[in-house]
Amino acid sequence: MRLSPPKVITWWIALILGVLGLLGYSGNLAAMSPYSFWLVLIGLALMLVATLIKNL
């Protein structure tokens, strides 16, 4: 299996999703609190898919 580094924009989107999820979980961003788990999960899944698919 060949892994490739994700593009910079994909990395930033995944990072922002993860940070929003963590802020929602900690209660600092109350609007994101119900979605915190899903935001972190989607951010991690995006990073996984971006390393498996070339040019993503």
* pLDDT(55) > 90: no
Other beta carbons within 10 angstroms of residue 47's beta carbon come to 18
Task: Give tens-digit pLDDT for 2-47.
Answer: 899 999 999 999 999 999 999 999 999 899 899 999 999 999 999 9
Give me the pLDDT at residue 29, please. Answer: 87
Q: How confident is the model at residue 50 (pLDDT cuts 50, 70, 90)?
A: very high
- The more confident residue out of 55 and 48 is 48
> Which residue ranges make up each domain of the chain?
8-52
Q: What is the pTM of this model?
A: 0.86
Give me the pLDDT at residue 51, please. Answer: 93
